[in-house]
Structure 1
Amino acid sequence: MGTAKSWLLDDSPASRLQASLGRSYRMARMLMRNPLAVVGALILLTLLVTAAFAPWIAPYSPLGQDLGARLLPPSAAHWMGTDELGRDIFSRVVYGARITLMIVVLVAVIAAPLGLLIGAIAGYFGGWVDRLLMGLTDVFLSMPKLILALAFVAALGPGIENAIIAIAITSWPAYARIARAETLTFRNAEFIAATRLLGASHGRIIVRHVLPLCTSSMIVRVTLDMAGIILTAAGLGFLGLGAQPPLPEWGAMISRGRTFILDQWWVATMPGFAIIIVSLGFCFLGDGLRDVLDPKQGGKS
């Protein structure tokens, strides 16, 4: 064990693999020193396990109805009670983890690379390219994200696929701004000039050198934005524009449960707790990653 640790922490790594593993090991150690980051990581690990093993964790079908057991309070048979159609809320929350995870992953996969590329191009070329791309970015940033997402979903039509597209369209400008700011700090650096002198094209410089240098800040921002993505998706579901019944999406479950909030509080409260806990998990982990990946913050931790 000591030999492996010494190999990972070697100040003169013999290979790129050793350097990468050593950097990852140091980051993991710094992350473990942050209690809230550890809590966030555990929450997200629980979300991943719940989504992966939902059929084995959920005691009932998320769609099966039993009108004879409708609106039952939490008990040993139904840990979170039942809804107005007799469906087990715990089972629906468990299966809803899959929908939530799918939404945040797809939005991140679409929005983050798009914003990263636009911001890097704007920062690298500058001039009219920068003004054009940042002008478009400012148009999107000038409007509240949820309102803009509502407008896009209203145009595209209700549904989980359209909700994902709408949230992604409204999320990329923040990433573009970060990527542009990062690119401006090193676009005139000596290593960029040397690469250009070696005959590398603009596209190669952006893809091979600029984008990797912006990745750390992007990872932090994506992790912190996951909570906002979950809340936006839940808001769309609450308004009936996201996942459609009978899918067990947490926002839609809250919307259906608001009718019974005074007498059967558990119908809306349980999926609400799930949204709050998962959102906090992403916030805690994102804050810890910022301390680890941001050199300005890392020195303070």
Structure 2
Amino acid sequence: MAGLYAYLTTETPASRRQARIGQAYRQWLALRKNPLALIGLIIVVALLLIAAFAPLIAPYDPLAQNLSQRLLPPSATHWFGTDALGRDIFSRIIHGARITLAIVVLVVISVGPVGLMIGTVAGYFGGWVDTVLMRVTDVFLAFPRLVLALAFVAVLGPGIENAVIAIACTAWPPYARVARAETLVIRNADYIAAVRLQGAGHGRIILKHVVPMCLSSVIVRTTLDMAGIILTAAGLGFLGLGAQPPLPEWGAMIATGREFIFDQWWVAAFPGLAICLVALGFNLLGDGLRDVLDAQ
């Protein structure tokens, strides 16, 4: 163990791989000192495990209806009660984690690279390229995300795929802004000038030297933005424009339970708590990552 610790914490790494591993280990040590960030990490990891093993965790079929057991309160048999069609709410929330995680992952892998490339290109070239790209970004930023997503879904039609496209079309501008701000600082650095003098083209400079320097800020922004993506997806589901029945999407579950909110509160309360808990977890983790990566 002493040898491994020395390998990870050495100030003179023997290879680039050792340097990367050592940096990741030091970042983990810094993150571990933040109790709120650890709570966020636990929540996010729990979400991943629940989504991966949902069929093993859920005690009932989330789509199975039993009208003889409709609107039962929480009990030892049904931990979170049942809904208006007799479906077990706990099982539906467990399976709904898969839908929520799928939406988040699809949106992030779509908007992250797009926003990163638009921001780095705008910041690197400047001039009219920067003006055009940032004015397009400003147009998207001028509208509230949920309102703009509603407009896209109204054109594309309801469904998970269209909801992902709509959220992705509205989520990329902040990534572009962050990447542009980082690039404006990096493009005048001495090492960029040295690489340019060695004959490297613009594409190579952006991809090999500018983008890696912007990644940490984009990763932090991504983690913090996941809570907003979850809320936007839940909002679309609540309005009937996201996942369609009988899929157990959390926002749609709240929508079906709002008519019973005063008498059978559990129908809408538990999906709402799930949304709040997961959004809180991503926010806490994002704050912790920001503190760690900004200190590097």
Same fold (TM over 0.5): yes
Report the equivalent of 2:147: 147
Distance of 2:241 and 2:116 partners within structure 1: 28
Structure 1 CA distance for aligned equivalents of residues 213 and 189 of structure 2: 12
Matched residue type, 2:45: L
Aligned partner of 1:196 in structure 2 is 196
Q: Does 1:96 align with 2:62?
A: no
How is 1:46-61 mapped onto 2 (pairs within 5 angstroms)? Answer: 46-61=46-61
Structure 2 CA distance for aligned equivalents of residues 173 and 66 of structure 1: 46
Map of 1:264 onto structure 2: 264
1:89 Cα deviation from its structure 2 partner? 0.2
* Partner-residue secondary structure (3-state), 1:207: helix
Match of 2:17 in 1: 17
Task: Give the aligned residue type for 2:111.
Answer: A
- Give the equivalent residue in structure 1 for 2:33: 33
Deviation at 1:38, TM superposition (A): 0.3
Deviating beyond 6 angstroms after TM superposition, the runs of 4 or more aligned structure 1 residues are none
- State the Cα distance separating 1:196 from its structure 2 match: 1.3
CA deviations on 1:144-179 (whole Å, 9 max, x unpaired) are 111000000001100010001110110100000000
1:88 alignment partner AA: D
Q: Which residue of 2 aligns with 1:236?
A: 236
Q: Provide the aligned length of Structure 1 versus Structure 2.
A: 296
Structure 2 gap segments, 5+ residues each? none
Aligned to 1:167: 167
Partner SS, residue 12 of structure 1:
coil
Aligned to 1:255: 255
Query: What CA distance in whole angstroms lies between the structure 1 residues aligned with 2:281 and 2:188?
Result: 38
Match of 1:71 in 2: 71
Q: Which runs of 5+ in 1 are unaligned?
A: none
CA RMSD, 1 decimal: 0.7
Letter in 1 for 2:97: A
- Paired with 1:58 and 1:126, the residues of 2 have a C-alpha distance of 53
Indicate the residue corresponding to 2:177 in structure 1: 177
Deviation at 1:143? Answer: 0.8
SS at match of 1:244: coil
Letter in 2 for 1:221: R
Query: Take 1:74 and 1:188, find their aligned partners in 2: how far apart are those partners?
Result: 61
SS of residue paired to 1:7? helix
Shift of 1:277: 0.3
CA distance in 1, matches of 2:294, 2:158: 39
The secondary structure found in structure 1 opposite 2:172 is: helix
Percentage identity across paired residues of the two chains: 68
Residue type matched to 1:161 in 2? E
Cα distance in structure 2, aligned partners of 1:96 and 1:16: 41
Structure 2: which amino acid aligns with 1:164? V
Counterparts of 1:88-127 in structure 2 under 5 Å? 88-127=88-127
Name the residue aligned to 2:43.
43
Normalized against structure 2, the TM-score is what? 0.99
TM-score w.r.t. the length of structure 1 is 0.97
What is the deviation of 1:2? 1.5
Q: How far does residue 281 in structure 1 lie from its aligned partner after superposition?
A: 0.2
SS at match of 1:163: helix
